[in-house]
Amino acid sequence: MSPILLAIITFVGVTGLVGGLAMFLRNSQGSSRQAQRLDQIIGRGSMRGKESSADMILKQALQEVKGANILERLTPEFFKVSKMFEQADVAIRPPVLFGIALGMGLVGSIISTVMVNIYVAPVGGALLFSIPFVWLWWKRGSRLKKFAAQLPEAMELISRALRAGHSLASGLHVVADEMPDPISKEFARVYEEQNLGISLEDALANMCERVPNLDLRFFVTSVNIQRQTGGDLAEILDRIGYVIRERFKILGQVKALTAEGRLSGIVLIALPIGLFLLMLHMKPDYVELLWTDELGIKMSIGAIVLMIIGSYAIKKIIDIKV
């Protein structure tokens, strides 16, 4: 069998297996979400958010925040593709994106085999296969950052609506009408859900699941407590907006102070990869020992492991929580 054909069959088989597993997990998550939404419509899910004590609400909110952080650290992002599509708000469907990634991976394997050799085909295929998912991850991060930047203004807008005599639902509707995407779309969805019969607490909780933002959880928790115990919600929202703005100021200072460390990490990671690709193009027989010789294979594995450890160490140094 031709080496090129063998490489293509191997790549298609592995990517098909991984894609099938991802689709299976996505379908199981989708069915559980549909059952949960059906419970909310018929009233069985309305018990959530109706605790009799503000302490219970606050305790539950803190547990959800801790649990979300643990799950985000332990669960691989590849198996949360359906949630990533919802958070990125892209028009393309998951099967279509996976098909594009599969086609790009196949093209990358063929180009790598023709231009270099059969040993580099999996690397080229994996790189082009990951491009659509990197794009999806970038779209998700960009949308969540934009939502976080718009949140303080939304808090102040709701606060002014409450002081003008409007209800909280009307304040959410004002945000949906007056502010741009993505925050207008999320608040409009909350307003439509509570109009369809879902309780406001459940609609806000659903928004927290769609938008993993800690400041948004503070807002939802304060709303739940205020609806149980009473109080001046407008003042609470003003304080939350002020805290969020101050956090953004501190975060900007932290990014400025850690810019040198981040740039050093990028250079240290990109330099060996760029040098390897340059030598592979200029003198392929010189670097073939890295995957043909036994000692070269051990050195390659050691270099990759050390790069991963170094990247993690640099990330922990410059990743300052605000």
Q: Is the pLDDT score of 288 beyond 70?
A: yes
Q: What is the 3-state secondary structure (H, E, C) of 251-302?
A: HHHHHHHCHHHHHHHHHHHHHHHHHHHHHHHHCHHHHCHHHHCHHHHHHHHH
pLDDT on residue 273? 86
Residue 13 CA to chain centroid, in angstroms? Answer: 27
The CA distance from 119 to 72, in Å, is 35
**Does 44 lie in the same domain as 82?**
yes
Mean local confidence (pLDDT), 260-272: 84
For 204, the domain range is: 3-257
Alpha-carbon distance of 200 to 182, in angstroms, equals 20
**What is the predicted pLDDT for the residue at 54?**
47
pLDDT top residue among 147 and 19 = 147
- 67/261: higher pLDDT: 261
In 3D space, the residue among 289, 265, 263, 266 whose CA is nearest the CA of residue 276 turns out to be: 289
pLDDT of residue 65: 47
CA–CA dist 137, 78 (Å, integer): 10
Which run of H or of E encompasses 81? helix 81-88
Q: Are 186 and 89 in contact (CB under 8 A)?
A: no
pLDDT of residue 47: 41
> How far is residue 226 from each of residues 179, 192, 223, measured CA to CA in Å?
25, 22, 5
Residue that is last in its domain, among 257, 277, 304: 257
Residue 295 sits in the same domain as residue 238: no
Q: What is the reported pTM? A: 0.63
Q: Do 169 and 268 share a structural domain?
A: no
The confidence band for 20, taking pLDDT boundaries of 50, 70 and 90, is low
What percentage of residues in the chain have a pLDDT greater than 70? 73
Same domain, yes or no, for 80 and 199? yes
Q: What is the average pLDDT score of the chain?
A: 77
Mean pLDDT value of segment 278-292: 83
What is the C-alpha to C-alpha distance for residues 277 and 287, in angstroms, rounded to an integer?
10
How many domains is the chain built from? 2
Which range, 49-58, 59-68, 231-240, has the best average confidence (pLDDT)? 231-240
Last residue of a domain, one of 242, 257, 272: 257
- Please say whether the beta carbons of 8 and 125 come within 8 A: no
| Separation of alpha carbons 149 and 138, rounded Å | 17
Task: Write down which residue in 231, 257, 283 finishes a domain.
Answer: 257
Higher per-residue confidence, 2 vs 177: 177
Residue 311: HSE in the Cβ half-sphere, 13 Å Cα cutoff: 12
Stretch (H or E) spanning 149: helix 121-163
Residue 126 burial (10 A CB sphere; 0-12, 13-18, 19+) = middle
Q: Would you place residue 85 in the very low, low, confident or very high pLDDT band (cuts 50, 70, 90)?
A: confident
Position with higher pLDDT, 78 vs 156: 156
How many CB atoms are located within 10 Å of the residue 215 CB? 19
Phi/psi at 53 (nearest 5 deg)?
Answer: -130, 140
pLDDT at 248: 83
Q: Do 212 and 111 share a structural domain?
A: yes
Length of the chain: 322
**For residue 275, what pLDDT band results from cuts at 50, 70 and 90?**
confident
Tell me, yes or no, whether 10 and 119 share the same domain. yes
Q: What is the DSSP string of 229-257?
A: H---HHHHHHHHHHHHHHHHHHHHHHHHH
Please tell me the predicted confidence (pLDDT) of residue 23. 57
- 174 and 274 housed in the same domain: no
Q: What angle do CA 85, 8, 303 make, to 5 degrees?
A: 75
Q: Model confidence at 281, in pLDDT bands (50, 70, 90)?
A: confident
Same domain, 205 and 285: no
185 lies in the same domain as 226: yes
Asked whether 175 and 166 are in contact (CB, 8 A), the reply is no
Sign, CA torsion 28/31/35/36? positive
pLDDT tens digits for 89-112?
888 888 888 888 888 888 888 887
What per-residue confidence (pLDDT) applies to 262?
A: 82
Specify whether 81 is located in the same domain as 201: yes
Same-domain check for residues 313 and 274: yes
For position 16, what pLDDT does the model report? 61
Residues 183 and 299 placed together within one structural domain of the fold = no
What is the rounded distance in angstroms from the CA atom of residue 60 to the CA atom of residue 51?
10
